[in-house]
């Protein structure tokens, strides 16, 4: 699965819609930083117990999955964050059909927290927030993602 470039204008529109719903001003930062701003807003909403708008959450999850795939290229591990996205990453043997031998699955909030370093891999595993199968499914060496 190759990474797809996010449409920054769509991200910005979703971000502005969410901010308006919260009674806040529209995003006024640089357009290329809108995906990072979306991540921060979604995390803040989760912390406040508010469910983010679907599009904004999808953009935030997709953005950080794409960054993982860029920083750990390969097709050995499939990382799934339903219902939003999945990517293949990590160098090594790749699968060609069926369920890959190394699969990581988690919910959107946990993925965003892992990718940004708000929670560690070990803590999320101990809390049962990650399902990881396969010898190469430990992503602790790739998380948190470094700033781009």
| pLDDT of res. 95 | 67
Q: How many Å apart are CA 62 and CA 81, to the nearest integer?
A: 9
Q: What long-range pairs does 70-73 form, CB within 8 A, spacing at least 24? A: 70/3, 71/142, 71/145, 71/146, 72/139, 72/142
The number of C-alpha atoms within 13 Å of 47 and in the hemisphere containing its C-beta is: 10
When the pLDDT of each residue in the chain is averaged and rounded to a whole number, the result is 92
Kindly tell me if the per-residue pLDDT of 148 is higher than 60.
Answer: no
Kindly tell me if the per-residue pLDDT of 63 is higher than 60.
Answer: yes
4 against 56, higher pLDDT: 56
pLDDT band at residue 98, thresholds of 50, 70 and 90? Answer: confident
Kindly tell me if the per-residue pLDDT of 2 is higher than 50.
Answer: no
Give the chain's domains with CATH numbers.
8-133 (3.30.1050.40)
Q: How many Å apart are CA 72 and CA 68, to the nearest integer?
A: 6
Q: What long-range pairs does 31-36 form, CB within 8 A, spacing at least 24? A: 32/8, 34/8, 35/6, 35/8, 35/11, 35/59, 35/60, 35/63, 36/63, 36/148
Contact 136, 90 (CB under 8 A): yes
What are residue 128's DSSP bridge partners? Answer: none
What are residue 131's DSSP bridge partners? Answer: 105
pLDDT band at residue 35, thresholds of 50, 70 and 90? Answer: very high
Whole-model pTM?
0.92
Strand, coil or helix: 72: coil
């Amino acid at each position: 699965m190759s990474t797809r470039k996010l449409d920054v204008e769509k991200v910005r529109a979703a971000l502005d819609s969410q901010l308006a719903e919260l009674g806040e001003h529209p995003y006024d930062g640089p357009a290329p930083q809108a995906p990072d701003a979306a991540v921060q807003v979604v995390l803040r909403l989760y912390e406040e117990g508010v469910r983010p708008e679907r599009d904004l959450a999808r953009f935030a999850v997709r953005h950080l999955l794409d960054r993982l795939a860029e920083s750990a290229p390969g097709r050995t591990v499939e990382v799934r964050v339903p219902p939003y996205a999945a990517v293949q990453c990590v160098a090594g043997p790749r699968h060609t059909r069926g369920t890959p031998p190394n699969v990581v699955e988690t919910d959107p909030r946990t993925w965003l927290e892992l990718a940004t370093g708000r929670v560690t891999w070990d803590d999320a595993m101990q809390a049962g927030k990650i399902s990881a199968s396969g010898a190469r499914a430990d992503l602790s060496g790739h998380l948190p993602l470094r700033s781009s």
